[in-house]
Amino acid sequence: MSDILYEGKSKIVCCGIDGNTLLIRYKDTATAFNGGKKEELSGKGKLNAEISNFLFAHLEKRGIKTHLVKVIDDTSAIVKKAEIVMVEVIVRNVAAGSFSKKYGVPEGASLKNVVVEFSYKSDELGDPMLAESHITALGLATSEELEEMARQALKINEMLIDIFAKARIRLVDFKLEFGRCGGEIILCDEISPDSCRLWDMDTDKKLDKDRFRRDLGDVLGGYREVLERLKGIRD
Ligand code: UDP
């Protein structure tokens, strides 16, 4: 394996094929509650890699710039080296998770508009929510970068809602990370059942990391179903 540059909770980052790229390898480790809950789920890395690579390729085809360069094997891909913006972008179509808890709205309640929120990518601080003026005050991103990330996040949301709907899956919410690369903001990290809430459209069955967070059982069964349904789409 190439030299490890960094090991995160769910991925390992290694040297790429040249100075402009990195190799990322998806791990089988599942974590929740800021690392407070941790388990090895054999095969998770492969499922997330395939789902995320599939979705990134789908978005690229539709004009979204992403870090994905080349899939190497079941769990690894070459990506563009980018300077990660330390702000996570969360998009919500339906109330769930921390939104439901914080604002006293039942999970599954519909929202009058799509919510885009930002949080600080910082495990030590527990990813606190940030207002735009916090972000600029802390120098995490400029107003222009934030506007661009929110614009791209809403476009990505439309595209993902559509593709998941074809797989009879409701996209409840998700988290995106962006990076600076060659003067542009590009989509980085992953889009997988670890970073999205995905509910079966007909039964509301959870097919995402809430299966792990909430001990609902058969975590990877949910992930596998997401992958199989996406692969079954004809578009
Ligand atoms: N999310 C994520 N990483 C984070 C925080 C949130 O991938 O560090 C995703 C999460 O899986 C969900 C969405 O972002 O799809 C919204 O998460 P929420 O704020 O409700 O927090 P959670 O309930 O996951 O703690």
With a pLDDT cut of 90, the percent of the chain lying above it is 97
For residue 95 and ligand 1, the question of a CB distance below 6 A is answered with no
* pLDDT grade for 230, boundaries at 50, 70 and 90: very high
* Closest of 81, 69, 74 to residue 26, by C-alpha: 74
Q: Is the pLDDT of residue 1 over 90?
A: no
* Closest of 191, 188, 176, 219 to residue 38, by C-alpha: 219
Is the overall model pTM greater than 0.95, yes or no?
Answer: yes
Beta bridge partners of 188: 177
For residue 127 and ligand 1, the question of a CB distance below 6 A is answered with yes
Mutation probe of ligand 1 site: the residue of 114, 129, 173 with most atoms within 8 A of C-beta: 173
| pLDDT of the residue at 235 | 62
How far is it, in rounded angstroms, from Cα 192 to Cα 198?
Answer: 9
Mean pLDDT of the residues in the chain:
97
Q: How many CB atoms lie within 10 A of CB 20?
A: 12
* pLDDT grade for 87, boundaries at 50, 70 and 90: very high
- Structural domains in the chain, CATH included, are 4-80 (3.30.200.20), 83-231 (3.30.470.20)
* Closest of 149, 181, 176 to residue 79, by C-alpha: 181
| pLDDT of the residue at 197 | 99
| pLDDT of the residue at 234 | 75
* Closest of 121, 63, 111 to residue 91, by C-alpha: 111
Ligand 1 mean position, distance from CA 105 (Å)? 16
For residue 199 and ligand 1, the question of a CB distance below 6 A is answered with no
For residue 152 and ligand 1, the question of a CB distance below 6 A is answered with no
For residue 175 and ligand 1, the question of a CB distance below 6 A is answered with yes
Looking at the chain, how many residues does it have? 235
Nearest-CA residue for atom 19 of ligand 1: 98
Mean local confidence (pLDDT), 131-152: 98
Reduce the DSSP state of residue 155 to 3 states and report it: helix
Q: Is the pLDDT of residue 2 over 80?
A: no
pLDDT tens, position by position, 154-201: 999 999 999 999 999 999 999 999 999 999 999 999 999 999 999 999
* pLDDT grade for 116, boundaries at 50, 70 and 90: very high
Reduce the DSSP state of residue 208 to 3 states and report it: coil
Tell me the CA distances in angstroms from 191 to 58, 154, 156, 167, one per residue in order. Answer: 11, 14, 11, 16
Q: Is the pLDDT of residue 212 over 70?
A: yes
Eight-state DSSP code of residue 79:
E
Ligand 1 mean position, distance from CA 23 (Å)? 25
Cβ partners under 8 Å of residue 124, min gap 6: none
Reduce the DSSP state of residue 229 to 3 states and report it: helix
Q: Are 51 and 193 in contact (CB under 8 A)?
A: yes
Ligand 1 atom nearest to CA at 99: 20
For residue 98 and ligand 1, the question of a CB distance below 6 A is answered with yes
How many helices and strands (H and E) does the chain possess?
6, 14
Higher pLDDT, 35 or 27: 27
How far is it, in rounded angstroms, from Cα 201 to Cα 80?
Answer: 35
